[in-house]
Amino acid sequence: MVRSASGLPVGDWVFRNHKIIQTPDAGARGLKTLKPRALIEFCSMGMIRLIRFRALVAASFVAVVLPAFSADHTPPRVQPATDFAAVEVHADEKLAIAAEPYDTKDKMELFRVDYISHGVLPVRLIVTNDGNRPISLRDARILYVTAKGDRIQAADAEDVERLMTLKEKQGAKIPLPAPLPSVRMKPKASDKNIEQDFDTFEFQALVVEPHTTRAGFLFYDVSGLSHPLRGALLNLHTIKDADGRDLFYFEIPFDKYLKTKSSQMN
C-alpha cells in the first residue's frame, strides 16, 4: 500500500481534526477536504457498509445458533425396551415393555406444546417382541395407576384440548399483597398443535411383529396430582398372542425411573 508523507494511505478518505479528508495522491500537496455533497455520499456509503456488515453477522448467528435450539419434533430413536429403567420383562413370553415418562423441561422440547405445564404427562411406551410370533395390542388396556390406586385412561387429542381450554379460560392468577385481590391474566388461546403432536407421537401399533420394537407416546391427565410419578405405575392387560390368548399382565413401577433420575442428578 502506498502511503503519503504523513503516513496515511494515498488517496484514501480518513478522519482528521474532526473532518473527513482525502490523503493526497503521489506528488500532490496538502489534504483535500470532502465537500458537503461528497460528505453525504461518503456517509451513505459508510452506512450501507455498516448495514451489510450487521446483516452478515446476523445471518451467521442464525446459521450457527438456531439449529442448536430449534426442535424438529421428530420421534426419538427406537431402542429395545430393556434399555430403559422402568421395564418389565416376561422371559417365557419373550416380551419386554418399558415406560419412559417425559416429565422435564428438556424432554418437553420434543413436542409442540408444553403439556407438563397444563397437567398432562406424556409417557413413552416401548414394546419389544423377541419371540417368533406377533403380539396383538388391539384390545390392550393401558392404564396409569396412581399411588392411591386411581386408574387413569390415556387421553386422546380432544381430551387434552378440552383440558387445556378449560385451564386457559380460567386464566392465570397473579397474587397481590392483602387485602388486594389477585389479578387474573387474560387466558391464552388453545393450541391446535396438539393434534399435530398426536399424529406424530401417539402410540398407534396394534401389532408388534416378531423380533421388533414398537414405541410411541400416551398422554395422561395428572393435573390433580402433586407428585404423579411417586408410587404410580403403568398397568397393561388384555395383551394377546398370535392365537388370541391373553398374556400375563404387565405392571411397570415409575419408581424405577425416579430412582435412576435421582442418581443421575446426584
| 182-230 confidence digits (pLDDT tens) | 545 444 535 779 999 999 999 999 999 999 999 999 999 999 899 999 9
**Whether pLDDT at 60 is above 60:** no
- CA distances, 70 to each of 17, 65, 112, 116, 231 (Å): 50, 9, 11, 19, 35
- Rounded to an integer, the average pLDDT of 69-80 is 81
Place 168 in a pLDDT band, splitting at 50, 70 and 90: low
Question: Which pLDDT score is estimated for 179?
Answer: 52
Question: Which pLDDT score is estimated for 231?
Answer: 97
Q: What percentage of residues in the chain have a pLDDT greater than 90?
A: 57
- Which residue matches cell numbers 399435530? 196
- Rounded to an integer, the average pLDDT of 25-50 is 51
**In terms of Cα–Cα distance, which of 62, 8, 52, 47 is closest to 31?**
8
CA 132 – CA 129 distance, rounded (Å)? 8
**Whether pLDDT at 98 is above 80:** yes
**In terms of Cα–Cα distance, which of 104, 142, 109 is closest to 236?**
142
- Rounded to an integer, the average pLDDT of 115-141 is 96
Tens of pLDDT, residues 224-263: 899 999 999 999 999 999 999 999 999 999 999 999 987 6
- Which residue matches cell numbers 502506498? 2
- Omega of the bond prior to 179 within 30 degrees of 0, cis? yes
CA 197 – CA 70 distance, rounded (Å)? 16
Question: Which pLDDT score is estimated for 192?
Answer: 78
7-32: b (≥16 Cβ within 10 Å) or e: ebebeebeeeeeebbbbbeeeeeebe
